[in-house]
Amino acid sequence: GAVVSQHPSRVICKSGTSVKIECRSLDFQATTMFWYRQFPKQSLMLMATSNEGSKATYEQGVEKDKFLINHASLTLSTLTVTSAHPEDSSFYICSARDYWDSSYNEQFFGPGTRLTVL
């Protein structure tokens, strides 16, 4: 149980285009999902908290107009990188929290999406 998937696993795009990454909780409901970015040989940095049915909460320094987040259902959150540039190339990872988990602490991570902007 508690499986989180991401699609696509890898994407290459041209500079200036937009890319959408999907995060799905496959066997549980997630009112809260998180988006992280990870550069090579670095740690995971939280970008934003995605709440079902409401606006995402962005961490300081993350441009909300560049990284659009939509959490339209209890099992799906999407991250759209708008007008992507080479510096946006990174490993994007999502996680989800099980709504019915009484402790409500544990996050289940997806496999990540490798974005390369040419």
Partner 1 sequence: GESVGLHLPTLSVQEGDNSIINCAYSNSASDYFIWYKQESGKGPQFIIDIRSNMDKRQGQRVTVLLNKTVKHLSLQIAATQPGDSAVYFCAENTSGGGNKLTFGTGTQLKVEL
CB of 18 to partner 1, least distance (A): 23
Q: List beta partners, residue 39.
A: none
Written as six digits, the tokens of 112 are 């990540």
For 68-117, give the DSSP string: EEEEEETTEEEEEE-S--GGG-EEEEEEEE-TT-SS---EEE---EEEEE
Residue 110 in the binding site for partner 1 (CB under 8 A) = yes
Among 97, 98, 115, 117, which residue sits at the site for partner 1 (rule: CB under 8 A)? Answer: 97
Q: Which is nearer to partner 1, 80 or 101 (CB)?
A: 101
Contacting partner 1 (CB under 8 A), which of 46, 68, 74, 76? 46
Size of the site for partner 1 (CB under 8 A): 25
Q: How far is the CB of 26 from partner 1 (least distance, A)?
A: 14
d(CA 31, CA 25): 10
**Any contact of residue 93 with partner 1 (CB under 8 A)?**
yes
| Distance in Å, CB of 38 to partner 1, minimum | 9
Query: Are 34 and 56 a contacting pair, CB within 8 Å?
Result: no
